[in-house]
Structure 1
Amino acid sequence: MDDIRNRIRKAMEWLKDNRLFASNRAIAERMGYNPSALSQVITGKANVSERFVKSLCGIYPALRYEWIWKGEGVMIAENPCRRQEAETPIPQMDRFSYILGNMAEIIKSMTELTGPLAGRVERLERKVEEQAREIEALRSMLSENAKAATSRKK
C-alpha cells in the first residue's frame, strides 16, 4: 500500500510542479475531498480507495489510473496531438479565443449547476411567504383571543 501512496504523492507533486494546482488543499478541493482526508490517505491513516484514485485522475485526465492504482505503465498519458499543439506558438488572438472558450465552458457548467438551485430557492421563498402569512394569521387570532379574554374579565 505504501507504493500506491508514493505514486499518489508523486502525481500530486507533478501537478504542483507543473503549476496545475498551487497546493495539496487545491487538489483535495478539486477532487471533492476535505484536505485533511487527503492528508490521511497520503500519510497512511486512511485507506486508499479506487474512488480516491479515480477522483485524483479526474482532475487531470492525462494522469494514468493504471499507473497510480496498479503501478503499470506511465504516470502521464502522452498525447502526440497535444504535445505538437504545445510546441507551436499560439498567436495572441488565438490565446484570447482559447481563454474565452474555456470561460464559456466554465459558465455553462456553472449554469447547469445553479439552474436547479434557482428553482429550489424559488420554492423555498414561496414556502417562507406562506409561513409568514400563516404566522400573521395566528398573531391576528391570538390578538383577537386576548381582546376577547380581556373583555370577559370586565
Structure 2
Amino acid sequence: MRVRRLAPRDADAFRALRLEALRLAPFAFGAALAEEEHRPLSWFGQTLGHAAVFAAEHGPGQLGGMLGYRRDSLLKRRHIGHLWGMYVRPKARGQGIGAALLEAAIAHARAEVSVLQLMVGEGNPAARRLYERAGFTLYGTEAASLRVEGVEAVTLLMAMRLG
C-alpha cells in the first residue's frame, strides 16, 4: 500500500471513489450522492487542485481509500485545519489504510495549522476509535446534523492540537 496526494489528473479515480462513498455510506458525509453525481469531471479536478486529498493505492491503479484536508480560509481561523471525506473501500478495510491516510494528512497539516478538526458520525464507533488513537478528542456534538431519507444522525466533533 502506498499513500499519496491526489492531483487534478486523478479526477476520474477520485470521482469514482467519492461517489462510491456517498452511495455506500450516506450517514458518513454531509454531501449527498444526488448533489455530486451530476457534477462535471472538471469539478472533481478543481477540488483536487484546491484541497489536499490523500489516497491509498490498494493494488495497481486501484484506490482503496481517501481522506481530504483543507485549511480554514478566514484570517482569524487560519490556524485550524479540517479533515473531511474519510472513506476506505469495504474490501480494503482492516489493513491499516485509515490509519495510514490519517498519518499522512496529520503530517501535512502540521506544516500549516496548530489545530486539526473533524466530524464523525455517532453511529461509526470504529472511525471514532481510529481518531482517538491518533490523538483526537471529543469537544462537542451536533444533534440532528444530517437527515437521510427522514432519519436524523448525530455528529461528533473532534479536534487535536498539533505541535
**Common fold by TM > 0.5:** no
Highest CA radius of gyration, 1 or 2? Answer: 1
Write 1 or 2 for the structure with the bigger share of strand: 2
Q: Normalising by structure 1, report the TM-score.
A: 0.27
Q: Return the structure number with greater helix share.
A: 1
Higher relative contact order (CA 8 A, sep 6+): 2
